[in-house]
Amino acid sequence: MSELFYRQKTVGVAPVMIRVKLGKSISIALVSGLVLTGCSGGSGSLGFGSLGGSSGFGGDGTGGGIFGTRVEKRPIDQWSAEEIFKRGEYDLERGDPEEAAEWFGEVERLYPYSEWAKRALIMQAFAHHKDKEYELARATAQRFIDFYPGDEDAAYAQYLLAISYYDQIDLIGRDQGLTFQALQALRTVIERYPDTEYAKSAILKFDLAFDHLAAKEMEIGRYYLKRKHYSASINRFRVVVEQFQTTTHVAEALHRLVEAYLSLGLVNEAQTAGAILGHNFQSTEWYQDSYRLLTSRGLKPEAKGNSWLRQVHRQMIKGEWL
């Protein structure tokens, strides 16, 4: 599950630290002096009603918290930017990111070019992401990057944009175009903001997204192999061996190549694939299966012929790249 970190900036008050985990309740630490007193839930132009005493914010009706039980009947345009922003934070904490995004949007609409509007824009992007409105999250994060490219929170915005792609590729059957876009966006985080905590997280997610692409190739290759379309399956497994050598799928790809080449009667290629598999993944079940397949036909894993696999063998095992 993705984890986001956001540090709010100081706007006339002590700084506030927010640490949130997507999919879980948001923990917001409000330091002394930041809590608004006498500010009610308001039913302004957005149509939000009373929050009630069960909220834990001023439940005694005295307005002792951020939002009391009394509702001020005043239009939204009479709220201060800070009041609207705090209401958005409150809705995030109580698990309503959709409503929170609307409040943050109102800050930007009513108080454009203000410091509160800048903070609200990045929080609106986060709220959209938490609501699984990934396209809206990406669009809002991109607007922050476009408007405030030099801001210290631009790294967070770029990271949020990237994981809004990443969080849509959890199933390998999905459109792999999202995976390519996620990889591109994650690479931007890594290269543009290398010393940030977001870059560290982006590196891990980049590897996982890369693994997703290899998994898709394997899925298609197995489909062809099962239906005895051996040449088509070989093409897919070759892509994994040549282009996704750092993923977890290479051992299986080599074993499937042994199967496919033996089915076509191409024993040199099958033996070479087995040799590469044995050198790099000897302790795996894939090598054991390939070894049994080869020896059952009087063959053994060894490099033979002059196919593309022999070239891979020279490069990976002998280190001969020229």
What pLDDT, in 10s, does the model give residues 118-167?
Answer: 999 999 999 999 999 999 999 999 999 999 999 999 999 999 999 999 99
Confidence check: pLDDT of 46 > 70: no
Contacts of range 65-68, beta carbons closer than 8 Å, 24 or more positions apart:
65/35, 65/37, 66/35, 66/36, 66/39, 66/90, 67/39, 67/40, 67/41, 68/38, 68/39, 68/40, 68/41
Contact 58, 67 (CB under 8 A): yes
Tokens for 273, please give them.
Answer: 């694939």
pLDDT of residue 37: 29
Contact 16, 9 (CB under 8 A): no
In this structure, of 65-69, 96-100, 211-215, 248-252, the range with the lowest mean pLDDT score is 65-69
pTM for the full model? 0.68
pLDDT of residue 173: 54
Contact 279, 308 (CB under 8 A): no
Pairing type for strands 3-7 and 17-21 reads antiparallel
> What would the mean pLDDT of 7-17 be, rounded to a whole number?
37
Give just the sign of the alpha carbon dihedral 170, 172, 175, 181.
positive
Q: Which amino acid is located at 104 in the chain?
A: F
Summary mean pLDDT of the chain: 80
Rounded Cα distance between 164 and 209, Å, is 13
Spell out the domain ranges in the chain: 214-318
% of the chain surpassing 70 pLDDT: 74
pLDDT of residue 45: 34
Q: Which fold has domain 214-318?
A: 1.25.40
Bridge partners of residue 19, in order along the sequence:
5, 27
In this structure, of 34-38, 182-186, 218-222, 259-263, the range with the lowest mean pLDDT score is 34-38
Contact 68, 58 (CB under 8 A): yes
Confidence check: pLDDT of 42 > 80: no
Confidence check: pLDDT of 71 > 60: no
Closest CA to 268 of 224, 237, 313, 231: 313
